[in-house]
Amino acid sequence: MNIEHPVTTPAPETPVVAPVTEPVKPVVDATPDVNSASEARTYIFDQPMKQQDVTTPFWPKLDKKLAIKDMPLDQVIALQGLVTPEGRPDAAKITALLLIHSLVFKESGDSVFQAPGDTLRVAELGTSILQPLSVQLMEFLGLNPNAAAVEEAKKNLSLIQGAASNSGSQPG
């Protein structure tokens, strides 16, 4: 008795086809070209205020969540006019108000502090908090044009102090 077994042939392999991808298109600025002084003026005034991330190691829950935003020049000039009863610039109040006007929550852009209500409380935060924040703020606002010179002077001073202590410890 002859039993025939059906011959099974393997199914043809389906070819592996790489997915079709679109070529990467360069990012094109969607704003129209600026071709006149009037268009330049409009373009400039339509730009949002600049902002920059601020580091807050003293507030770990807020690190990478806060930013400092730019301030209109007239506000900065008005703040610089604040003086103590002795006639000196009121650095504590100026720093506090700069922070009140500039420190924002990145996600929403909302101010963290409110003026005038928070002015005294911000001024009383302490120098360990205010000094690092004010340095970042002053550099961002361009109010500390000699920051590089100050850093260079500090470096030179430490080199001089190091050389002096080394020469004093060696027998002569």
Where are the alpha helices (H) located in 15-146, listed in sequence order? 37-45, 73-80, 91-102, 119-123, 127-141
The pair of structure tokens assigned to 5 is 């077994």
Whether the CB-CB separation of 144 and 137 falls below 8 Å is answered with: no
d(CA 144, CA 150): 10
Spell out the domain ranges in the chain.
49-167
Is the whole-model pTM more than 0.75?
A: no
What is the reported pLDDT for 111? 92
d(CA 30, CA 7): 64
Look at the domain 49-167 and name its fold. rbstp2171 (3.30.2220)
What is the reported pLDDT for 172? 47
CA dihedral 138, 139, 141, 145 (to 10 degrees): 100
Peptide bond into 116 cis (omega under 30): yes
What is the reported pLDDT for 71? 87
Consecutive 10-residue runs of the chain (172 residues): their mean pLDDT?
Answer: 55 52 56 86 89 89 91 83 84 86 92 87 87 88 66 66 60 48
